[in-house]
């Protein structure tokens, strides 16, 4: 099948062909004709299947007639993270270059003024993360009563991140007569319930996940004492032919510590995590994409779903606490038919997490020895004394990341600006709801820290001490 058989117009077909795509992927083949008829779609598809184009291409067609009024977007796409929202907006730019559609990207951490200005001009396509959209709605800057097409993307991640109450609220603000396209990689009962509530007689489309990274990525496991992890990483970075790599840590503060250490040892490394200001996240990602940065040290949420084709290596500086994160992480390499290499640096206490990863993979991760670095037995008891809590060397006080680690807000789209305060207050309640829902479903996955990159505690109520909401003058490096 070719794209021209799907019912797309000439300007869109030209843009697709200029993108270098000749054959539609299975989700595109099945979803595009259905979306063009105006029917709702329930798509069970992961990133990497071509899912984004399966809704952006027909949306460009649907929206190509008509005009947007000020502050009244004609379509809305909800994404769980800023990076995914930015990726979708790039897709619209690429495929919509021959159509005159206006677009706005509403994500946390960026100027409200610019986003309000874009809304004032009227937008055909609004791409947003839930928190920022609700903020702008509460400020009276946006009316959702003209939305004709709604896309809820990555619904299961929205659930993981505690966004479902926000999504339900947003959908309640939309006109009941609309077209809804709902995508999720998995369909747990809670997601099914939402789909039943939001969709009318949807066409259900389910496509196989892309080739599992477990098959396309060479995996290695290095087991060392905790104090030898950095040295092991450096040795691997020197011995492997690393063109560029993503290094994953479980906690945001460890991302910062590791970056400092790598830079001190002469490596070209920068951090990517949710506590960084958005401009810094975007800039770092851009440098990495453009091969101007070799090592991206990241937390799970910030790097999940990123579509960077040429990553030669993934290093798990920490063993992920959730087996699915292992697959997400190593899947950042070995993309688009390329081969990739991954190394997981474990210490003896990680055996429990490794076991659940092995169970999910259905096989072992081959052990790997690094010359000059002592490896230890996986089951061996940890003998090292715990290190004292890290303090700022200069003042003997807590570091910013220490303080942030204790911020008593629930996990959600991180926003550094003080204006985001209402969203933070709401978030504790929102997550409480999500946790309760998960418990009702018999799952506690996200309640006990689905994103191990965020060590924020749950269940501490709504109160946020004022000092935590003050803007931080200097971005963390």
Under the rule (CB under 6 A), what is the footprint of ligand AMP? 21, 23-25, 28, 47-53, 307
> Which residue's CB comes closest to ligand AMP?
52
Distance CA 104, CA 123 (A): 6
The least CB distance from residue 11 to ligand AMP, in Å, is 17
Tokens matching residue 98: 């021959």
Tokens matching residue 164: 């479902």
Residue 111: left if φ>0, alpha if ψ -120 to 50, beta else—which one? beta
The least CB distance from residue 13 to ligand AMP, in Å, is 12
The least CB distance from residue 34 to ligand AMP, in Å, is 17
CA-atom Rg of the chain in angstroms: 22
Of the pair 73, 305, the CB lying nearest ligand AMP is at 305
Of the pair 11, 48, the CB lying nearest ligand AMP is at 48
Of the pair 55, 163, the CB lying nearest ligand AMP is at 55
- Tell me which H or E stretch contains 221: strand 217-223
**Residue 43, CA distances (Å) to 126, 144, 147, 153, 167 in order:** 20, 24, 20, 9, 17
Of the pair 25, 312, the CB lying nearest ligand AMP is at 25
Of the pair 42, 53, the CB lying nearest ligand AMP is at 53
Distance CA 275, CA 451 (A): 14
The least CB distance from residue 29 to ligand AMP, in Å, is 9
Of the pair 99, 261, the CB lying nearest ligand AMP is at 99
Residue of 296, 366, 365, 361 whose CA lies nearest to 332: 296
The least CB distance from residue 187 to ligand AMP, in Å, is 17
365 exposure class (CB count in 10 Å sphere: 0-12, 13-18, 19+): buried
The least CB distance from residue 213 to ligand AMP, in Å, is 13
The least CB distance from residue 339 to ligand AMP, in Å, is 17
Helix boundaries (H) for 173-290:
189-198, 213-216, 229-239, 252-264, 278-289
Of the pair 8, 107, the CB lying nearest ligand AMP is at 8
Of the pair 238, 338, the CB lying nearest ligand AMP is at 338
- Which residue matches tokens 């000020």? 70
The least CB distance from residue 2 to ligand AMP, in Å, is 10
Distance CA 177, CA 165 (A): 21
The least CB distance from residue 50 to ligand AMP, in Å, is 3
The least CB distance from residue 47 to ligand AMP, in Å, is 4
The least CB distance from residue 52 to ligand AMP, in Å, is 3
Of the pair 49, 250, the CB lying nearest ligand AMP is at 49
Name residues whose C-beta falls within 8 Å of residue 43's C-beta, 6 or more positions apart in sequence: 27, 31, 51, 54, 181, 182, 183, 184, 205, 206, 207
CA atoms within 13 A on the CB side of 317: 33
Of the pair 328, 426, the CB lying nearest ligand AMP is at 328
Please, which contacts does 292-295 make with residues 24 or more away whose CB atoms are closer than 8 Å?
293/244, 293/268, 293/269, 294/242, 294/243, 294/244, 294/245, 294/267, 294/268, 294/269, 295/237, 295/242, 295/244, 295/245, 295/246, 295/247, 295/262, 295/267, 295/268, 295/269, 295/270
Helix boundaries (H) for 249-322:
252-264, 278-289, 300-303
Residue of 165, 188, 151 whose CA lies nearest to 41: 151
Of the pair 21, 368, the CB lying nearest ligand AMP is at 21
Residue of 270, 276, 339 whose CA lies nearest to 310: 339
């Amino acid at each position: 099948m070719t794209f021209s058989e799907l019912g797309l117009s000439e300007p869109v077909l030209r843009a697709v062909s200029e993108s270098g795509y000749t054959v539609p992927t299975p989700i595109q083949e099945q979803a595009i004709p259905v979306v063009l008829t105006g029917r709702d779609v329930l798509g069970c598809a992961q990133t990497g299947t071509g899912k984004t184009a399966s809704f952006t291409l027909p949306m460009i067609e649907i929206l190509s007639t008509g005009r947007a009024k000020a502050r009244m977007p004609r379509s809305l796409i909800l994404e769980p993270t800023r990076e995914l929202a930015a990726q979708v907006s790039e897709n619209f730019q690429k495929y919509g270059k021959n159509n005159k559609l206006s677009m706005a990207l509403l994500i946390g951490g960026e100027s409200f003024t610019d986003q309000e200005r874009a809304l004032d001009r009227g937008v055909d396509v609004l791409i947003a993360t839930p928190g920022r959209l609700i903020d702008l709605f509460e400020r009276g800057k946006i009316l959702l009563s003209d939305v004709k097409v709604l896309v809820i993307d990555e619904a299961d991640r929205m659930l993981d991140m505690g966004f479902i109450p926000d999504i339900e609220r947003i959908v309640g603000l939309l006109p009941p007569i609309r077209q809804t396209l709902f995508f999720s990689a998995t369909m747990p009962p809670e997601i099914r319930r939402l789909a039943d509530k939001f969709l009318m007689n949807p066409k259900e489309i389910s496509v196989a996940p892309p080739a599992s990274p477990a098959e396309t990525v060479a995996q290695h496991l290095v087991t060392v004492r905790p104090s030898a992890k950095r040295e092991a990483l450096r040795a691997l970075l020197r011995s492997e032919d690393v063109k560029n790599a993503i290094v994953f840590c479980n906690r945001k503060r460890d991302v910062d510590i590791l970056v400092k250490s790598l830079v001190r040892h002469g490596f070209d490394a920068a951090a990517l995590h949710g506590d960084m200001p958005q401009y810094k996240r975007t800039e770092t990602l851009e440098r990495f994409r453009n091969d101007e940065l070799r090592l991206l040290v990241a937390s799970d949420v910030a790097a999940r779903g990123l579509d960077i084709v040429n990553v030669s290596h993934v290093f798990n500086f920490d063993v992920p606490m959730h087996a699915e994160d292992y697959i997400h992480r190593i899947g950042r390499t070995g993309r688009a038919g390329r081969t990739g290499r991954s190394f997981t640096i474990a210490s003896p206490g990680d055996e429990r997490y490794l076991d659940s990863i092995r169970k999910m993979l259905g096989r072992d991760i081959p052990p790997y020895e690094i010359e000059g670095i002592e490896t230890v037995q996986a089951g061996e008891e940890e003998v090292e004394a715990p290190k004292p809590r890290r303090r700022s060397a200069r003042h003997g006080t807590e570091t910013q990341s220490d303080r942030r680690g204790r911020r008593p807000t629930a996990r959600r789209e991180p926003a550094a600006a003080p204006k985001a305060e209402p969203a933070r207050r709401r978030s504790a309640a929102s997550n409480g709801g999500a946790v309760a829902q998960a418990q009702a479903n018999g799952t506690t996955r996200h309640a006990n820290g689905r994103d191990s990159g965020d060590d924020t505690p749950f269940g501490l109520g709504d109160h946020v001490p004022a000092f935590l909401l003050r803007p931080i003058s200097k971005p963390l490096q």
